[in-house]
Each structure stands twice: as structure tokens, then as C-alpha cells.
């Protein structure tokens, strides 16, 4: 199943700076693993914001929930999730 996930990150200014950097590095590492696995298919930065729009390819809602809540920066995120389905006019074979 494909999902579009809009994520905005808001780490409080009072949060420990070194811990924030550690969490960001762990987030990047986890993201890159998921991208190599084909689970986190696309990511785009939202210009001028600490935010992104991503496309996930997962088995079901439960897998997406587990993946998102397991992200190191999850406690600081606001998300909007939209389920997607293949458009009949798409010329791409991998749009499931």
C-alpha cells in the first residue's frame, strides 16, 4: 500500500542540543535503511520549513504506524497521512 506522509518537525529550543543532533543522525540512518529497502520510496523537502513530503510503500496501515512511531524524531513530529492508489492513466508499472 502506498501512503503520502507529510511530516513537520518541531524540536523545542529548550531541548538538549547534543541529544537533538544524536536523534537527527539516528533518523537519517533509519531513513536511509528504509529507502534502500524500498519502503520509504520518496522524500521531498518542503522549502523553507523543517518538513518533508514522503511516499511509503508498506504492507498495511499497521506496518506504517509501527514504522512512523519508531522514528527517532517521532515525538517532535506532526503528520498528515493520505492513503494512495494507482491512477489508471499512470505509465509506471511500479505504482501499486
pLDDT over 90 (residue 94): no
Nearest to 20 by CA among 76, 78, 79, 70: 76
Kindly list the domain boundaries of the chain, sorted by start residue: 2-84
For Cα atoms 81, 72, 41, give the angle at the middle one, nearest 5 degrees: 45
Q: What is the pTM of this model?
A: 0.89
pLDDT tens by residue, 22-44: 999 999 999 999 999 999 999 99
CATH number of this structure's domain 2-84, picked from the four choices 3.30.830.10, 3.40.50.720, 1.10.3720.10, 3.30.70.1060: 3.30.70.1060
Q: Encode pLDDT of 3-15 as tens digits.
A: 999 999 999 999 9
Q: So what's the pLDDT on residue 90?
A: 83
Q: What is the mean pLDDT of the chain?
A: 95
**Cβ(96)–Cβ(2) below 8 Å:** yes
Give Cβ neighbours of residue 6 (< 8 Å, ≥ 6 apart).
46, 51, 52, 53, 54, 79, 80, 81, 82
Q: Residue 4, Cα to own-chain centre: how many angstroms?
A: 8
Amino acid at each position: 500500500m502506498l501512503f503520502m506522509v507529510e511530516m513537520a518537525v518541531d524540536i523545542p529550543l529548550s531541548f538538549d542540543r547534543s541529544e537533538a543532533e544524536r536523534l537527527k543522525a539516528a533518523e537519517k540512518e533509519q531513513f536511509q535503511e528504509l529507502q534502500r529497502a524500498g519502503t520509504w520510496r520518496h522524500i521531498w523537502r518542503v522549502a523553507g520549513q523543517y518538513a518533508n513530503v514522503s511516499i511509503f510503500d508498506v504492507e498495511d496501515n499497521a506496518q506504517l504506524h509501527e514504522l512512523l512511531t519508531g522514528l527517532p524524531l517521532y515525538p517532535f513530529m506532526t503528520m498528515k497521512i493520505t492513503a494512495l492508489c494507482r491512477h489508471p492513466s499512470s505509465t509506471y508499472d511500479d505504482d501499486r
